[in-house]
């Protein structure tokens, strides 16, 4: 998260809140290894979301 936090110029709590929202939406997946949590995009979920967004708008 610290990498995302630095790139987006966000506080740790704000970055964490945004990642939690994306995780609940199924757009990112989290893997915890020791004290670190690694996030990755779920490309299929993102594609499905984009397709649905195109249809709805």
- pTM assigned to the model: 0.80
Please report, for the chain, the start and end positions of each structural domain, with discontinuous segments joined by +: 2-56
Q: Quick check: helix, strand or coil at residue 18?
A: helix
Instruction: Please name which of 24, 26, 2 lies closest in space to residue 14, comparing C-alpha atoms.
Output: 2
Q: What is the pLDDT of residues 34-45, one digit of tens each?
A: 999 999 999 999
Q: 47 and 39 in contact (C-beta within 8 Å)?
A: no
Q: Could you give the CA distance from residue 9 to residue 15 in angstroms, rounded to a whole number?
A: 9
Confidence of residue 22 (pLDDT cuts 50, 70, 90): very high
């Amino acid at each position: 998260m610290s990498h995302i936090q630095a790139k987006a110029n966000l506080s740790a709590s704000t970055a964490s809140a945004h990642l939690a929202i994306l995780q609940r939406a199924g757009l990112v997946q989290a893997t915890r290894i020791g004290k670190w949590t690694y996030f990755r995009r779920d490309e299929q979920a993102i594609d499905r979301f984009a397709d649905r967004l195109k249809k709805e708008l």
